[in-house]
Amino acid sequence: MLTLLGNLLIILATILASHLHTPMYFFLSNLSFVDLCFTSTTITKMLHNIQTHSQAISYEGCIAQIYTFALLLSPTLENFLLTVMAYDGFVAICHPLHYTVIMRPQLYALLVLGSWIICAMNALLHSLMVLRLSFCTNLKVPHFFCELNQVVHLACSDNFLNNILMNIATVLLGCFPLSGIMYSYSKIVSSIRAISSTQGKYKAFSTCVSHLSVVSLFYCTLLSVYLSSVVTQNSHTISTALVMYTAVTPMLKPVDCWRPLSHACHILGHLPRTLQIRLW
C-alpha cells in the first residue's frame, strides 16, 4: 500500500502541477509507473499465495512473470531511464543556456519511448527463449516469483543459449547505460567545481539531487543482490536480497523523490476537504 500510494502521488503531482511538466519529473513519473506495474504483478500474487496458503503458479503465469521481470525490474529499463535523467542533468548544468533548445518535449519523449521499446524487445526475446526449454514435474523456484535466472537453471533441457543471451544482455544493456551515467556525472562534477560562488554550487547540486538519491538507492540494492549471489549459494540469503530489491526499493523511491511528494501534498492541501478525506 505504501508503494502504491507513494508512486501514485508522484504521478499525480507531475500531472496536476504545471510547473512540474519538466523532463526530470517526467522521467521520475516513468520510474514510478514502472514500480507501480511491477509491484501490482508480483507482490499481489505473493499476497494471494500467503492468503490461500498455496505457492502454486501456472506455467503461463510463470512466463508472464518472467516477461514482467525482464521488462520492468531487471536493471535494463531502470538503467535506461536513469541514463536519460543523467543526460538531462548534464544538459541543465553544463549547457544551461541551451537547455530548452536541446531538451525539447519531442526529444525526451522519444528517449523514454526508445527505452521502453528496447526493453520490451529484450523481455520478449528472453520469454521466447524460456518457452523452448523443457521442465521436469514439481518444479520449485526458490523465490516468491518466477525469476528468469532461477527458472532457466531449473530447466531439464540444455540452457546454454539462454545463459549466453542473459550474459550478452547484461553487458550490452547494463554496462553501456551505466557508463553514460558515470560520464554525465563526471562532467556535472567538473562544471560544479568550476562555479566560484558557494550559492551557485548549491543551486547546481540541488538540480540533480533527486536523481542522485534514486541512482544511489537503485545501485546499492542491485549490488547487494549481485554480491549475495556471488558470495553465497544459500537460496535464503539470495531470496532475502531479492526481496529487498523487488519489494523494499520501490517503496523507498518515493521517499527519495521528496520534492515531487512535497508538491503533491501542496496540491492535495488545496483540494476540497471532502475530496481530501476520500483520497487519504
- Provide the sign of the torsion angle of the four alpha carbons 101, 9, 80, 178, taken in this order: positive
Could you say which DSSP state residue 35 is in?
H
For 94-141, write each residue's pLDDT tens digit.
888 888 888 888 898 899 999 999 999 999 999 999 999 988 877 888
Contact of 159 with 153, CB cutoff 8 Å: yes
In contact, 119 and 71? CB cutoff 8 Å: yes
Residue 174: per-residue pLDDT: 79
Gap between the Cα atoms of 27 and 49, Å rounded: 33
Alpha-helical (H) ranges within 132-257 are: 148-153, 160-170, 176-194, 198-207, 209-231, 235-243, 249-256
According to the CATH classification, is domain 2-279 in 3.30.300.20? no
Check residue 12 and give its pLDDT: 87
Question: DSSP string of 77-138?
Answer: HHHHHHHHHHHHHHHHHHSGGGHHHHS-HHHHHHHHHHHHHHHHHHHHHHHHHHHT----SS
Residue 81: band (very low, low, confident or very high) from pLDDT cuts 50, 70, 90: confident
CA distances, 131 to each of 63, 124, 141, 209 (Å): 8, 11, 16, 42
Cα distance between residue 114 and residue 93, in whole Å: 24
Between vectors from CA 73 to CA 260 and to CA 130, what angle results, nearest 5°?
160
What Å distances lie between residue 164 and 158, 167, 171, CA to CA?
A: 12, 5, 11
Residue 270's pLDDT band, with cuts at 50, 70 and 90, is very low
Burial 135-148, CB ≥16 within 10 A → b, else e = eeeeeebebbbbbb
Rounded mean pLDDT, 182-203: 83
**In the predicted model, what is the mean pLDDT of the chain?**
79
Calpha distance 72→33 (Å, rounded): 10
pLDDT above 60 for 82: yes
Higher local confidence (pLDDT), 94 or 217 = 94
Q: What is the pLDDT of residues 150-169, one digit of tens each?
A: 889 888 888 899 999 988 88
Kindly list the domain boundaries of the chain, sorted by start residue. 2-279
Q: What is the dihedral of CA 261, 266, 267, 271, to 10 degrees?
A: 130
d(CA 267, CA 123): 37
Reported pTM: 0.78
Percentage of the chain lying above the pLDDT 90 cut:
10
Return the number of other C-beta atoms located less than 10 Å from residue 111's C-beta: 20
Which pLDDT score, from 0 to 100, does residue 230 have? 56
Q: What is the mean pLDDT of residues 74-83?
A: 80
